[in-house]
Structure 1
Amino acid sequence: MKKIFLILVSTSVIGILFSCTKTDDQPDVIVDIKVSKEGYKPDKIYINRGDVVLFRIKAVDEGIGDDYSQEYYGHCFYILPPYDVMVKNIKKGETKQVKVKMVYPGEFIFTCPYCSGIFPTKGIIYVR
């Protein structure tokens, strides 16, 4: 009985560690976010666990710059691990999107690593 329990727990942990949260599933919720040098609007997002969320991120300004020949430009949207989801190089006026299945409960930071040391680009997703 103890071995069966350990196998079940191990399998569950491995499944959680290696589950992919990006998805092509139909969204349950759509969240529109604007990012600028002033930060994200909204910067607090409340989601139910298990929902598939379509995040639509629009850059309101040029972020770290509009030199598109560089590797990094504009803004980005990054949900820290365990989600580890990144949308890169959002140009001023452009909207990019990503669908994420919110499988982990708790509070998760999203940020723009490009701007984080320069501008107040940070928010929190609350998954309940």
Structure 2
Amino acid sequence: MKKAVIFLVFGLLVFSSCTKTEDKPDIVIDIKVSKEGYFPNDITVPYGKVVLFRITALDDGISAGYGSNNVGHCFYIMLPYDVMVENIKKGETKEVKVKMVYPGDFLFTCPYCSGIFPTKGDLHVVR
């Protein structure tokens, strides 16, 4: 039983770590994020391809603890992808390459401000 649990945990770590990649992208998607949300906020990509997401912040986002320390925006593709790009400041573009290994519909969001602003979107990975 102990070996099965260890194997399961190891398998989950391997699968969750294999979505982020340094491979050459097949597709490039530019995303703008602001307090108004993500643009585009509905994205469809093919299964099995490497997608380069380029995320640009159009405004300051939210401050840490609502104080003066600005943390900007982030881009988080929920589980099973579990890919996060943090602290995207106004005017800044950050990139992440993701291998689309799980087909289906997934949420992407900014955990920093999603409870305050409409910063969420849908990612569709189709076969």
TM category (shorter chain) comes to 0.7 to 0.9
Partner in structure 1 of residue 3 of structure 2: none
Query: Take 1:50 and 1:17, find their aligned partners in 2: how far apart are those partners?
Result: 19
What are the within-5 Å matches in structure 2 for residues 1-128 of structure 1? 18-19=14-15, 20-65=18-63, 70=69, 73-128=71-126
Percent sequence identity over aligned pairs? 68
CA distance in structure 2 between the partners assigned to 1:84 and 1:40 by the alignment: 18
**Residue-pair matches, total:** 114
Aligned partner letter, 1:88: E
Question: What is the rounded CA distance, in whole Å, between the counterparts of 2:91 and 2:72 in structure 1?
Answer: 10
RMSD between aligned residues: 2.1
Greater fraction of residues in strand? 2
Deviations 1:66-89 (A, max 9, x none): 99x84x710000000000000000
**Structure 1 unmatched ranges of 5 or more:** 1-10
Normalized against structure 1, the TM-score is what? 0.82
TM-score by length of 2: 0.83
| Higher gyration radius (CA) | 1
Query: What is the alpha-carbon distance in structure 2 between the residues aligned to residue 27 and residue 16 of structure 1?
Result: 24
Q: Could you list the runs of 5+ residues in structure 2 that have no partner in the other structure?
A: 1-6
